[in-house]
Structure 1
Amino acid sequence: MNDNDMVKALKKGDKIAFKYLFNTYYNRLVAYIITYSHDKAQSEDIVQQTFIKLWENRQKLDDSKSPKGYLYAIAHNIYIDAIKTSKKHEKIMNLVWESALRDRIEEDFETQEIRIQKMKRVVENLPPKCKKIIHMNKVQGIKYQEIADQMGISIKTVESQMRIAFIKIREAFKEDNVILFFLFRELRNSCKK
């Protein structure tokens, strides 16, 4: 039996004819689609869909023609549809991702602003000398020795006042997993504005 005879039998619902065509063209079609997709699993899925479509549309087959061209055309069209669907899906996913990222940036900005305001309140409530020393060091960027020289106190006093400030700040942020270094940097930047 040749391909045309198999098509005639297939049109009548002959499963043996279908199996013959499947065995004859399956690997060829997979190899053909792989040249486009470079993905064996996707190619096998497309070829399986091709044979499902062949079975579903068997009544429409022209039994004077070889099914080869029909099978290759179906496989190619299914591949093209899969690419279009994939691109649409990718575009939608990119839009969702961008939207989520924008929302996250806005949330992060709002959270950061809240933390900076909280830090300012904590610093504002420190004892006057402690507040001045932390401001000089963390906002103005003055080193401990220079602070000691400017204020006429020992470097040990500066260190002690900084320790007190850090204890108060850590207490205020104990529920927050915030890295204080970044918070001080943001505080310094906001004070310069």
Structure 2
Amino acid sequence: MGNYSNDFLLHELKNGQERAFDYIFRKYYKGLCAQAISYISDMDAAQNQVQECFIKFWEKRSELNEIQNLAGYLSFMVRNQCIDYLRKEKVIAKAHDSELNRSVSENSTENELLVHEFEEKLVVALSNLPERCRMAFEYSRFENHTYPEIAKKMNISVKAVEALVGRALKSLRTELKDYLPLLLLFLRMM
């Protein structure tokens, strides 16, 4: 599938088109995992929660009303899924008692809102990157591959990987300029 609008994808999804679901999954999965990891520090558990969200999303596809912002909707689902997971695991009810939350400021309520807002914007910003740019960035930041490894995976030169990751970082800095301290902290943590 090419670059389709959310309305088209949701329409196809409601009609049971698995290709639409696959496209949405591939486009948003890694960004949503990054968000889930900020709630649940265990990578496997975070990925499981994101997968649970996609299962629910597929199961409720016929009930989906007009969704104006698909990335925001999925981000909200992941946030709620992670909070439910943490409650079930009897982890402290405060979902963001992490380095990210402590580093931002002392005002925890305002802090949580800012972090959640940043996470939603990050998911959207990642999904807006050109596909090869996003892939190179995700290999580098989420999967910890070296540039030579990425070059081999993508069948391009190391210089091309550097350019793609550089473009991704520039785009993220521009799109998330209002959240620059959080973005820089996020990039250091990865």
Report the TM-score, using the length of structure 2 for normalisation.
Answer: 0.44
Over alpha carbons, which structure has the higher Rg?
1
Q: Whose helix proportion is higher, 1 or 2?
A: 1
Higher RCO, 1 vs 2 (CA within 8 Å, ≥6 residues apart): 2
